[in-house]
Amino acid sequence: NAGVTQTPKFQVLKTGQSMTLQCAQDMNHEYMSWYRQDPGMGLRLIHYSVGAGITDQGEVPNGYNVSRSTTEDFPLRLLSAAPSQTSVYFCASSYRTGDNEQFFGPGTRLTVL
């Protein structure tokens, strides 16, 4: 098992550019989520999905879109990047909704200039 994979590991964008952060898991997990980690603020939930075709907003969803067309993939789209979106982004998955032993990917470090 590869577990939870994220690409790319590092990315630099200019303000206004769009991009997609990729996340995939090969554990057949129902629940997937995206977090951002900023210094002194821990992890904040951006969006989550409880299964294919079902997504919902977390604490800080503005400026981000998600979709879940398959169980395995949960991409995060930045529509028009802003410097405030400079952060480290983590994708996580768990076997079922409410199962909080989440498995985390290695993260994507994003800088928006």
Residues 41-60 that bind another protein (CB under 8 A): 41-45, 48, 50, 56, 58-59
4 CB-side CA count, 13 A: 23
Residue 101 interacting with another protein (CB under 8 A): yes
Q: Give counts: helices (H), strands (E), the chain.
A: 0, 11
For position 99 contacting another protein by CB under 8 A, the verdict is yes
Check binding of 95 to another protein (CB under 8 A).
no
Binding window for another protein (CB under 8 A); candidates: 10-18, 20-28, 68-76, 96-104: 96-104
Residue 40 engages another protein in binding (rule: CB under 8 A): yes
